[in-house]
Chain A
Amino acid sequence: MSVSGIVKGLLQKYLGKYIKGLGSNDLALSWSTTELKNLELQESLFDDMGLPMVLHKGFVGNLKLVIPWAQLATLSSKTKIVIELNDIFAVAVAKADVKYDAEEERKKARAAKDKLVQAFEDQRKKAMKEAEEAAKTGDQKAGFVSNLIRTLLENLQVTVTRVHFCLIDNSSVPTRSFVLGLYLEELKLLSVKPEDSDAHIQDSSSLSFMKRASLKGLALYINVTEKGADKRIPPKRDPLLTASEAGIKQMLIDRMDPSRSNCAYVLRPTGFDMALVFNSKGTVKIPQVQVNLKLSVLALELAKAQYSCIMGLLDTMSHYQLYARYRSFKPAALKVARPKGTHRCMLWWTYACNCVRSDLQLKAKRRSWTRVLMLMKAKKRYINLFFDALTSPKNKALKEAIRKMELTLEANEIIHFRKVAYTKWEASPHAARAKQSYAQKALGAVKSWIPSFGFGTSKTEETTAEADEDWDKAVETIKQSTVTADYQLKHAKDMALQLVLKLPRIAVSLLDAGPERHPIVTLAIEGLDFELIQRQKFLALRLYVCTSLANILQLSATVSSELFQNFYLLCLNAYVQHIHESAS
């Protein structure tokens, strides 16, 4: 296989589900750098997510991958794996407007069944892997795969710029149509050298590696349009649905500029700066994982119409998933019609009868003697076929026969039959032989690929003994010391995870329905600090919150003269000085 063929295969495997044309023969790909421009998103983007929406148009402006395949095993800190995605724009439409397609629904049901079976297979593989790792307890050497993953993470640089997703919904709320948009200007995940760190990360001299993530210009808006009183006049189509490709891109880019757009923001453009430290070394003063998160000002605004649209959309989403199995019975006239007139009432009752009848038929079919007999026969045949397929995995005829049988079976039945087949196979001598052969092959492949780059080696026995000694000392110090709150807060030697969050200001406003969007109530919290610490080797969690909320334990009510003017006045005054020193 050629170099471009391998890269194409990888792209198709991981991104083919989301981006069109990655398997095309016209793609010119090189070994280390791959750059693709003007790509389109797949229409089936939302199918797996179970969301009631279809993609109208979706584009990816630029996709760039720089992967030094030949140097993966010997990656130095200067070599970088780069992933860049620019100009991702998507316009989706709520699904109530989409017609029912029987063939399409059958395909989706089959895909859902396959997904359940695949999930079972993945879970089984994971369990086997965990069992293998557990068997290796006591061996402190890091494996090739874990070293490779660590190296990849250490050198990974991800940049995503200009992402805008837009949902046009005319059906979730009967009296309103709305456009919900979510965009971000830039997302970066970069590796940072310890000397480049500022006061954000303290004492970073002996780190394994450090990443910095920053997000800029994240915003959410909901533009609401009231439908006219006359229902015979169809609502005006959103310009995004009629515009050309270039027009859609331009409109979405314009909306991302707060000074030029007239978007009704729910979340005003915000961002964060996050520093992550991964420290795999045994004895250091900083935690194994340290996350310092500095958020920008959070400004949330919500008008009543926007709240109503959000609730309508959530209701439609839950309803869509709950009643997906009845979709075939629903006449098109009922999707938007209210029950007025005898004819429409009849349609509604017929639909409800069909729904209930389909449930009954399904139950009766599952319990029928014909199906029980069929399952008994199918079980024997399926288990034998699957067992044969496990012993000779390259036999295509067997795989085809299994696939045909699976068409008539339900997901839980397939999973049950596979479990029995696996048990039978694991008890057979074939399984032991297959494992031995696989191990030999894997070892041979690794040896031939990686000559002697020092991979698979980590701490020596001396280092491990030293680390244990340090740990024992640390535990001893903790036990002997006077335990106070200050000591616990300052003591950092035994931390496994530390999360520090700083939020300068949150402002939440509820707005009235008028065009000027006057506030009804505003909430402002300033200076919110949050710290979460987990101690290693203890199932211990230390939480330190320093925030602007108060607990209400003492209550005093004051009644003022406004009570007599039909105003209630309630003063809750809460104060707690001390909560216990010693636990009960």
Chain B
Amino acid sequence: MNLQVEDHVTKGTIFPNIISRLVTDESKNDPLLDLQLFMPPLDESSSLSLRLRALPLQIVANLPFLLGLSDFFAVQPVNLHALEDAMINALSSARQQSSAAIADALESHK
């Protein structure tokens, strides 16, 4: 049972594993995460019982890796759709503002 995240962005890094498991002799065969949720528990001592056991995990992150990741997910929205949204919203809000202004003017005229 293992979890490993490897960094291929940072060349020559001394930490190629972003996330890795810290293995000790005691915890070699234990699961990394053991979660038990009882709703309600059999002894009815409460309405919910949560049991959580976890083992240590090492997470290392560096700037080039984070930048590489953010660059991957940076996707521009389609221009035409954004334009269409913006124009229709602008016109509707302008119309609402003008009708509110007319109502206000009528109110103050009285």
- Size of A's binding interface in residues, CB under 8 A: 78
Alpha-carbon distance A577/B56, docked complex (angstroms): 10
Are A550 and B34 within 8 A (Cβ)?
A: no
Give bound CA distance, A535 to B41, whole Å: 11
Asked if B54 contacts A550 (CB within 8 A), the reply is yes
User: Cβ of A312 and Cβ of B48 under 8 Å apart?
Assistant: no
C-alpha spacing A550/B45, complex, angstroms: 28
Cβ-neighbour of A571 out of B2, B55, B59 (below 8 A) = B59
Q: Which of B1, B14, B78 contacts A174 (CB 8 A)?
A: B78
Chain A contacts for B90, CB-based, 8 A: 352
Q: Which of B1-51 contact A (CB under 8 A)?
A: 1-10, 14-15, 18-19, 21-22, 31-43, 45-46, 48-51
Residues of A within 8 A of B84 (CB): 319, 323, 352
Contact A360 B95 (CB under 8 A): yes
Taking a contact as CB atoms under 8 Å apart, the answer to whether A356 and B57 are in contact is no
Name the residue of chain A whose CB is nearest to the CB of B96: A356
Q: Pick out which of these stretches binds chain B: A25-33, A156-164, A394-402, A514-522.
A: A514-522
Nearest residue, chain B, Cβ from A355: B88
- Complex Cα distance, B48 from A539, in Å, reads 11
CA distance A573 to B22 in the complex (A): 9
Cβ < 8 Å to A, chain B residues 50-109: 50-66, 68-69, 72-73, 75, 77-81, 83-84, 87-88, 90-92, 95
Does A569 belong to the interface (CB within 8 Å)? yes
Query: Which residues of chain A are near B62, meaning CB under 8 Å?
Result: 562, 567-569
Query: CA–CA, A540 to B49, complex, Å?
Result: 11
Residues of A within 8 Å of B77, CB to CB, are: 315
**Residues of chain A within 8 A of B18, CB atoms compared:** 521
- Interface check A359, CB cutoff 8 A: yes
Q: Which residues of chain B have C-beta atoms less than 8 A from A569's C-beta? A: 15, 60-62
Contact A304 B88 (CB under 8 A): no
A319 to B88 alpha-carbon distance, docked (Å): 13
Q: Check if A349 sits within 8 Å of B87, measured CB to CB.
A: yes
Q: Answer yes or no: A574 CB below 8 A from chain B CBs.
A: yes
**B33 x A546 contact (CB < 8 A):** yes
Interface residues of A in 170-194 (CB under 8 A from B): 172-174
Min Cβ gap A124→B in Å is 34
Hey, which chain B residues are within 8 Å of A543, CB to CB? 35-37
Asked if B39 and A338 make an inter-chain contact with CB atoms under 8 angstroms apart, the answer reads no
Q: How far is the CB of B12 from chain A (nearest CB, A)?
A: 11
Residues of chain A with a CB closer than 8 A to B59's CB: 552, 570-573
Please determine whether A520 and B69 come into contact, CB atoms closer than 8 angstroms.
yes
A483 contacts B by Cβ under 8 Å: yes
Contact of A547 among B8, B31, B42 (CB under 8 A): B31
B73–A524 CB distance below 8 A: no
Question: With the chains together, A478 CA to B1 CA distance in Å?
Answer: 33
Distance A118 CA – B46 CA, assembled complex (angstroms) = 45
A311 at the interface (CB under 8 A from B): yes
Inter-subunit contact B8/A519 (CB<8 Å): yes
Inside 8 A of A544's CB, which chain B residues have their CB?
A: 34-36
Partner of A356, one of B50, B69, B92: B92
CB pair B49–A583 under 8 Å, yes or no, is yes
- 28 A-B contact pairs sorted by A residue (CB < 8 Å): A172-B78, A174-B79, A307-B72, A307-B75, A316-B78, A319-B81, A334-B80, A338-B79, A352-B90, A483-B41, A483-B43, A488-B36, A521-B6, A521-B9, A521-B69, A524-B3, A544-B35, A546-B1, A550-B57, A562-B14, A567-B10, A573-B56, A574-B54, A575-B54, A578-B53, A579-B50, A579-B53, A583-B49
4 nearest CB pairs, A to B:
A583-B46, A550-B57, A548-B3, A527-B1
**Residues in B lying within 8 Å of A, measured CB to CB:** 1-10, 14-15, 18-19, 21-22, 31-43, 45-46, 48-66, 68-69, 72-73, 75, 77-81, 83-84, 87-88, 90-92, 95
